Chains A and B, each alone.
Chain A
Amino acid sequence: MDALAALFDGFAIALQPINLMWALIGTFMGTAVGVLPGIGPALTIALLLPVTANVAPTSAFIMFAGIFYGAMYGGSTTSILLNTPGESGSMMTALEGNKMARKGRGAAALATAAIGSFVAGTIATLGLTFLAPPIAELAFIFTPPDYFALMLLAFLSVSVVLGASRVRGFIALFIGLALGLMGIDSQSGVQRLTFGLPALLDGVEMTVVLVSLFAIGETLYVASRFAGQPPNLNPLAGGAWMTRADWRRSWKPWLRGTAIGFPIGALPAGGSEIPTFLSYAAERRLTAHPEEFGHGAIEGVAGPEAANNASAAGVLVPLLTLGLPTSATAAILLAAFQNYGLQPGPLLFINSGDLVWALIASLYVGNLMLLILNLPLVGLWVRLLFIPRPYLYAGILIFALVGIWGVANSWMDLAMMFGVGLMGYVMRVYDFPIAPVLIGLILGPMAEVQLRRALAIGQGDPMALVSTPLSAVLVTICVLILVVPPVLSWRRARRVAAGST
């Protein structure tokens, strides 16, 4: 097995003391930011990018992987103990987990979430280990039309899946695409949308937009609607750990959650909302204790939590093999790769095989670390929640300034921070999804390159865009995503209208 041999080499790198230390730092920070409000994995990695300029890429990515996984463990802690899911993937966990905590079963809920995350993370990492190399091989025969169609699908699914409204999702996507066009056009060397300002020649920095949207937008939003009271914590007391019955009721949901989460995460239409929701619905239907659902059923914690972690590992499949990010965190990871002059995609496995396999190996290591960090230390993490909010958000602003000013010491970036921060505020008030902006910003320029290449190869014939079987299928799916839901709702509306007359 090639993959196995490569994985062992990866372990040899990941288990070096220095890299173990980076993994520990990463998982530690990841758990902390998962617990803390106002700061998530994407933002943390963005803020750390300037710091890692002096760190070897392998070590930096091992740390980022720890943050990526750690944030999900931390997120489940807050949704169970506080009923405040830090990220959309923990929403379902909060439903049952918080009810369990209120009944004094918080310890069991945390345990099934942590062990479920470990099981799912490990199985999904195995999936990544064996699935990524063949997909990367496959990607070699991808032509520009195939890539363009894949990116089109990623654009569509990100804007349609996230958020309540398709129109607002598309507006967010187009804002990202619009920002991505600024700067010197890589193909013709022409300045686009620079408005005569030299600071805009290099285009809009992904880090600046991400930090402004998340950190500044969130700070403005929370400051304007601050609850002003400490969080209402469910006591960990009555700390009955998982009983034998809990184990018996948990292991199947863990596996089912993994089976749902990994494939959906791995699709270009990834994300964590759909798999966690599906897992919750499945457990609700399959449970032997339907009466407990809505009042703290352990299956409703175990399944979605496993699905959440598995989908996170799944998201790494298109990211590493095709260079296709499908979540905000994946988008910033892609930007991190680009910072090091690496381009995720099929060539990454060949040119930087060491790095990729060390990264994958560190996912196994990180998962184990997280289990150890989280089960006994949960009381410590919870204490983070009592940081006074004025200092927490003021501190977040300082780190945002390090991240933004540290990129290029550019005044334009500070102005952008203010402007995009205000936009982030408005987007929260009027419920526009934020991830499509980032996906549009980072994938837009890549899609443009592929589009122009495809047309150049096809001598300007637009049919060249659907000239390969894969691109034809993908474009068809895109059209269906666009057309089918409105047609269905139109027909439903007509039927209702016909019925009422």
Chain B
Amino acid sequence: MEQQKRPYWLAAAVALWGIVWVWQGLRLPLTDRYAYIGPGLPVVGIGAGLVILALILALQIRGGVPFEEQSAEDVSADHHVSWYGLAFAAAGAAVPMLTMRHLGFVITCMLAFWLITRAFRSPRPALDLVIGAVVSLGAWYLFRLLGVQLGGLLPIAGI
């Protein structure tokens, strides 16, 4: 996202998180006969901390505190934002939620691999799909040999 001058939504999100925690914590016993602190009290405490920090952040934002993007390798010097790249990368990270259980690890990884190569504007989509398939199958086979449980090849077909 392009940086806004006054990203109040950041403070709102943190505050909302805190409020949910306080609300959930208040439904649990706050004190305990032996340990004095019940299971709910830390939840309320951390939630309240988030709300207070959100308020301070909101004040800072109102005062015009600068937000500088973190530097990273491969990032363009002017931090120009490509929504196209972000959308495809996000799709690549989201696709496992949809496909992993039915289509299995290999097909999921192939799709995710392909979506990430699109995000980085790789010039040859068809080749990327083949490379994705080979890498996914290789990773699945190798890590299964090493004893990592990754599920079947195509769960929906019972393989």
Contacts and interface: CB of A to CB of B under 8 A. Distances in A.
Interface string B34-72: 111111101100110110011011001000010111101
A241 interface: no
A418 interface: yes
B151 A409 contact: yes
A165 B65 contact: yes
A227 to B, nearest CB: 4
A174 B50 contact: yes
Interface stretch (A104-112, A330-338, A447-455): A447-455
B65 to A, nearest CB: 7
A165 to B, nearest CB: 7
Interface in B54-106: 54, 56-57, 60, 65, 67-70, 72-77, 79-83, 85-86, 88-90, 92-94, 96-97, 100-101, 105
B127 to A, nearest CB: 10
Contacts of B38: 188
A415 B35 contact: no
A86 B73 CA distance: 7
A430 B109 contact: no
Contacts of B39: 185, 187-188, 190, 192
A141 B88 CA distance: 55
Q: Number of contact residues on A: which range applies?
A: 35 or more
A370 interface: no
Contact of B57 (A167, A175, A195, A428): A167
Given A397-B93, A418-B90, 6 more contacts: A222-B74, A226-B120, A394-B112, A402-B143, A429-B3, A431-B70
16 contacts: A38-B74, A50-B148, A168-B57, A175-B14, A192-B28, A193-B21, A220-B93, A221-B70, A224-B82, A225-B76, A226-B85, A397-B93, A397-B112, A421-B93, A429-B69, A456-B36
Interface of B: 1, 3, 7, 10, 14, 17-18, 21, 24-25, 28-29, 32, 34-40, 42-43, 46-47, 49-50, 53-54, 56-57, 60, 65, 67-70, 72-77, 79-83, 85-86, 88-90, 92-94, 96-97, 100-101, 105, 108-109, 112-114, 116-117, 119-122, 128, 131-132, 135-136, 139, 143, 146-151
Interface of A: 37-38, 50-51, 53-54, 78, 82, 84, 86, 164-165, 167-168, 170-171, 174-175, 177-178, 181, 185, 187-188, 190, 192-193, 195, 216, 218-228, 231, 388-391, 393-395, 397-399, 401-402, 405-406, 409, 411, 414-415, 417-418, 421-422, 425-426, 428-431, 448, 451-453, 455-456, 460
